[in-house]
Amino acid sequence: MFLDQDQILKSFKYVAYTASYLVTRYKISRQSSSSSGTKENYADTALRFDWIIVGNTQTAVQKIKSSAPGVEVLRKRRLAANARERRRMNSLNDAFDRLRDVVPSLGNDRKLSKFETLQMAQTYIAALYELLQRK
């Protein structure tokens, strides 16, 4: 069974519409998990994608493959993000250690938790403020 030109065009338009919807949904969902990009940019991408599919399906497949980051790139990005998060947490933990050093620990032998350290710092600052107000 052969399709006439109008049926083929309708079929391509349906594929283009469906593909653009899926690409837009995918990119919007990726945008919600990252801080860069906007939904408008993704809609523009979907419109360009429609044009590519209607024009030439082979080009569309190549365009998708070439624009998607490779597994190695994604792995490197994840490793870099993990390293940044590790540095951030180490810096935060160092700051808590420095705060523990200047806040009185009430003679406990165990290390204060982060929450306890913040509570103690708050109490200590309030006590120092009161002391200054009395003078």
- Residue 28 pLDDT class (50, 70, 90 cuts): low
Domains identified in the chain and CATH numbers:
70-134 (4.10.280.10)
Residue 14's identity, in one-letter code, is Y
**What's the mean per-residue pLDDT of the chain?**
75
pTM of the model: 0.48
Q: Which tops the pLDDT comparison, 109 or 21? A: 109
